[in-house]
Amino acid sequence: MTPEPLKPVYWISGEDRAKVDRAVQRLAARVEGEMGMPPERFDATETAAVEVRTACEAMAFGGTRLVVVRRADQWKAADVETLIEYLDDPLPTTCLALVGSGGPTPRMLRAVEAAGQVLAFGPPAKANAKERAAWFRAYVQDEVKKYGSKISPALASEVVTRAGRAGEDAGHLGNEAIKLALAAGSQGVTKDLVDALVVVDPEAKAYLLGDLITQGDARGAYGMLADLAGGSDSTHPIVIHRTLARHFRGIAVAQTPGATKADLERLVGLKGYPADKALEQAQRLAPGTGEWCVARIADLELDLRLSELRHLGASPDDGERFVLEVAVRDLLGTCRG
């Protein structure tokens, strides 16, 4: 069958980076297979959109020109106006591939849909936490099935939970799914196999603790503290501190007027869903809450490392868990307002 003609523009995005990369590779291979030119590559964090437009409008003398722009979702709405204008009458010998983890601005989305095609690999951009969890669970199931095995929805959810923050990383989950599928074979993945092969991220529950605190859920937060303290895989208080510090630094940055996802990645290292969540929580909490919580967590670190209270109790970390509980009490009170 004759393939569909190349479109002037593609927006290729999503959190399943492996599929995003494969889509770009297939596009480049097709252009070169049709006697086109090797891709011209740009990075939106280093190149202005007007420069990309200039590249798109240059005449091609060796067949189709492919222009690939990575991190295109980092451009602001005003930045892409020149490309929106270009897409009103794109050069037929140029194929523009805009690649990112997130989606385009609304106007850019309309322009791409009118002139080309949007390819999304991952949960919908505006999916809520429940919808995202369902997508990642289904992704684990699909990857296990692809490699000749099967896994129940409950065990797939367990894999996502054990991965912690990496549970929002389709590439990491894909690796876990392949490992389980190859070990299980046609018998299917069991709970014992998940326990044996999928390592629990020590920060996973601590990250959930931060969410419970911002929600003002005292019962949930103290229950999570009990989980973090118990069992053979208990999480040390300083690890919990580190995760809470990063969580609330993200909220503090997000409460800065005009803060963007790019600011959260640059200043805190948050991107994707964690960055979206920090921006959402920042809007829900009273102004200044993030900064106050960061200061209180800094005091917690001093207590964990230097305070005499850390020596309380019979076991080595009783005192440290006591000062952690006091800090969580204060954080809950502030988030409740």
311 CB-contact burial (10 Å; exposed 0-12 / middle 13-18 / buried 19+): exposed
Q: List, in sequence order, every residue forming a beta bridge with 95; answer none if it has no partner.
A: 66
122: left (phi over 0), alpha (psi -120 to 50) or beta: left
Q: What is the pLDDT of residue 19?
A: 86
DSSP result, 236-260: PHHHHHHHHHHHHHHHHHHTSTT--
Element (H, E) at 75: none
Query: How does DSSP classify residue 308?
Result: G
Mean pLDDT by 10 residues, the chain (337 residues): 82 87 92 86 94 89 87 92 95 93 89 94 77 88 94 91 68 87 93 84 74 90 83 76 91 92 86 78 93 94 85 77 93 92
Strand order of the sheet with strand 40-43?
A: 40-43, 65-70, 94-100, 9-13, 117-120
- Provide the pLDDT for residue 272: 67
What is the distance between the alpha carbons of residues 31 and 43, in angstroms, rounded to a whole number? 20
CA distances (Å), origin 316, targets 9, 47, 287, 297: 61, 54, 38, 21
pLDDT of residue 316: 65
Residue that has been written with the tokens 């850390």 in this structure: 310
Among residues 325, 326, 253, which one has the least CA distance to residue 289?
A: 253
Contact 173, 159 (CB under 8 A): yes
Q: For residue 60, what are its two tokens? A: 């091609």
